[in-house]
Amino acid sequence: MTNQQPKKEYALLRWLKRGFFGAQRELTILEEEALQSPFQTVLKNFWARRISRISVIVFVLILLFVVIGPLVLPIDLGYQDNTQQNVPPGFNMLSVPKELQGNIKMIAPGPTYGVGVDNNGKVHTWGHLRVTNVITLEDIPQEVLDAKLVDVASGYDHVVAMDDQGAMHIWGNTRLGQAQLPNDMASAIRKGEQLNIIQIEAGNQFSAAVNEEGHLYLWGNSNLNDIKIKKAYQGNVAKVATNINTYFILTKDGEAAYAGFQQNAYSTVPEAAKSGVVDIAATGFTNAALKEDGTIVIWGNASRGERNIPEHEGKIIKIFGGRNHYSALTDKGEVLSWGGNFFGQTNTPKADANDPVEQVYTGFYQNYAVTQSGKMHAWGLKGYLLGTDQFGRDVLTRIINGGQVTMTVGAVAVLISLIIGVIMGGIAGYFGGIADMLIMRLCEIIGAIPFLPLMLILSAIMGTRVSLEQRMYIIMVILGLLSWTGLAYLVRAQILSQREMEYVTAAKTLGVRESGIIFKHIIPNVISVIIVTATVSFASSMLTESSLSFLGFGIPPPTPTWGNMLTGANDSIVIQQYWWRWVFPALIFSICTICINLIGDGLRDAIDPKSNER
């Protein structure tokens, strides 16, 4: 009957709480306390504080952000792209001006920007136009604004345009010869001769032009690029295509040929591309030749799936190259794209038989298609939510994956210190005597070890002999082994006050083993204090890991952590001009640690309401 009595009382109180007809009735304090366990009381007191509720919600959101985020935005530690360096937050790379829509003559997509010419010959620009700290493509020369343009080409850091008089206009970064025309071309312009240019192309710090007579002009940074041409091909060039540091041509005889002098991955042209070629294109690391029958021959370093041409209906009649993807147009007005798809650059619009595509403009990661009715479709890289860093890496992706590393290190270190601290503090507090003295002396010795100097010494000793993963494990273990002393002191003090209680005496009388008394009876009664301490230690461990990374002795790049992301922004130029590289990592890190500390404060106040009065 004694075992059934409490159940009857709880059932009676629940019935009283519902009321006679199921209506909610306010319980008295005594009735409420009878229904709640101590843990429920602490939880209720904690949740009653608004700041505690907000802190828990924000922390859970951040935790989900860094746990689920890497599944959505996985990180490629080897990824770098110098064309996407220090791009600010925003989604304007595909934002074609309204004045140009429905009035397009030509579009030339660049790495992070676009340049277009309307049917009136006026130039328009959009996207991220800054190429250096002091140079921006937005500063269009007045002569270009006054001219009537007929063609335009976008390079890595400069733009080449041609007007209806055959004059060439170049702006942007021109420090490495990008605006220095070749002697024969400059001489013909000075004499007033018509060059009859039919194509202009811009690449990585160099440009090219082809005239009606099949003559190829090349100019720009010759130290970086192979921009010389064998004389045998002059007068027989029909088209030119550029990749990262070279070019190749289509001759009037239908041959794809490498006309430079260097031996590289592109210089050996396949036999299938030496005849019957009608169009050519290039990505950053491959070349492609379109043959009369619609087949495509691709060679070079095709590591992004550039050879995986999708199945399609109709015959391919034109081909276009981006940074690491190709686009093609069929005779049925359908657009195909394949290759690298980091930013959706191969997600082509659905074909419309009633309004087929007539022209395609493909750049680095941006694509545009204009239909027969003048409707424009744009797909590819729109921009970056939080910008990019000095290596062209997405800051959002690195924050998500870096947060996972930082929080994992903090959590594992706290778990290690929690296990050691509870065991050592429990033994010292319960047994006392020699065990207490030895454990407390050990705590004093470990507490006297200077953590940061120790880590600096270990980092210097380890050097590059340990992998990034091993370094992360070492940091977690050392953090845990050196941070348990404070918790041990706290647990010892709590057990000293608990071991004389009646329930401990009763357990001893019943013959319960001492380990069971410590860990099954005493520790559960002080678990709330342990949770508060562990919560605060979690934030401290995250800060310590980030401090080590900030000093350059933690987990090094390319593995991201919030600490080494801030280390990469430790530069006056970055702080002044590339604010997104340090503001966002610092902001999420600050919010996370503040929330953890507020949760700890809330738990402390919920456990000991009198602490609010002190």
The pairing of beta strand 113-118 with beta strand 123-127: antiparallel
Task: Please give the structure tokens belonging to residue 235.
Answer: 């007068």
CA distances for 202 relative to 111, 243, 353, angstroms: 12, 10, 34
Instruction: Report residue 287: phi and psi, to 5°.
Output: -120, 150
Contact 92, 111 (CB under 8 A): no
- In the prediction, which pLDDT does 525 show? 75
CATH 2.130.10.30 in the chain, residue ranges: 88-275+348-380
Give the tens place of pLDDT for each residue, 349-368.
888 888 999 999 999 999 99
Distance of CA 390 to the CA centre of its chain: 12
Give the tens place of pLDDT for each residue, 571-595.
888 888 899 999 999 999 999 999 9
* HSE (side-chain half, CA atoms, 13 Å) at 286: 24
In this prediction, residues 103-130 reach a mean pLDDT of 95
CATH 1.10.3720.10 in the chain, residue ranges: 395-609
Q: Tell me, which fold does domain 395-609 have in CATH? A: MetI-like fold (1.10.3720)
CATH assignment of 88-275+348-380? Answer: 2.130.10.30
Contact 228, 260 (CB under 8 A): yes
Give the tens place of pLDDT for each residue, 283-342.
999 999 999 999 999 999 998 899 999 988 889 999 999 999 999 999 999 999 999 998
Contact 367, 336 (CB under 8 A): no
In angstroms, the CA 149 to CA 165 distance is: 9
In angstroms, the CA 402 to CA 277 distance is: 48
Q: What is the 3-state secondary structure (H, E, C) of 48-103?
A: HCHHHHHHHHHHHHHHHHHHHHHHHCCCCCCCCCHHHCCCCCECCCCCCCCCCCCC
In sequence order, the 6+-apart residues with CB closer than 8 A to the CB of 151 are 106, 117, 161, 162, 197, 199, 200
Give the tens place of pLDDT for each residue, 406-465.
898 888 989 999 999 989 998 898 888 899 999 999 999 998 888 778 877 877 777 667
In angstroms, the CA 347 to CA 382 distance is: 13
